[in-house]
Amino acid sequence: MTARLAARAGVRQARVMKPLRASDRHRDGAVAALRRGYLDGQLSTETFEARLAIAHSARQAYVLRALVADLRARWQALHAVLDGPRPAVATARTPQTTLLLSRTDRYEITVGRASTCTVVFGSTAVSRHHARFERVGGRWYVTDLASTNGTCVDGVRVERAPVAPAAEIRLGDALVVVG
């Protein structure tokens, strides 16, 4: 239908709209979502780096939306299968164990699913040999032992980091509080 006939018939013809240009706000939001996905263990290091490079060079907003579209859906689907229905109100997570590092005479504590570990977890999200806590010069450090789902100290994914009293450490989906 030509524009003249459409005007006579009172029908508006749809215009082809150009995709929106990516703004700094859109780009910052996508980068923040990718960072959260990486820290939550949803993205591997390689995938995170590749998506981050695309986000920084993206010229259109739809490219940024596509980079983060699967993160929330994949995470929700995985938890729906593993956890069953989620509660309507989010509650604070209860730690599965508290490590009293200041009261032990050990210099090394291994954590994982293996029976040879000092502290054993049953969750499949925790690797067999997930992390090692070690005392060096009176100070405790946690070292990730190349685990699949990573080790986070106070919400930041780490390979090795000092551990302060009252620190929250996430090993896969297990929450550990240091006392």
**How high is the pLDDT of residue 21?**
66
Average pLDDT over residues 160-179: 88
What are all long-range contacts of 156-161, with beta carbons under 8 Å and residues at least 24 apart? 156/39, 157/38, 157/39, 157/41
Residue with more model confidence, 152 or 21: 152
**How high is the pLDDT of residue 91?**
43
**How high is the pLDDT of residue 162?**
93
Contact status, residue 79 vs residue 55, Cβ threshold 8 Å = no
- Confidence check: pLDDT of 14 > 60: no
Average pLDDT over residues 44-50: 86
Average pLDDT, the chain: 79
- Confidence check: pLDDT of 88 > 50: no
Give me the sheet containing 139-144, strands edge to edge: 119-120, 108-112, 131-136, 139-144, 160-162
Q: Which two tokens stand for residue 8?
A: 């006579």
**15-29, 48-62, 76-90, 123-137 — which is least confidently predicted?**
76-90
If you search the block for the tokens 């993205």, which residue do you land on?
Answer: 43
The DSSP annotation for 45-66 comes to HHHHHHHHHHHHH--BHHHHHH
Q: For the chain, what percent of residues have pLDDT higher than 90?
A: 23
**How high is the pLDDT of residue 98?**
78
What does the pLDDT look like over 128-138, one tens digit per residue?
999 999 999 88
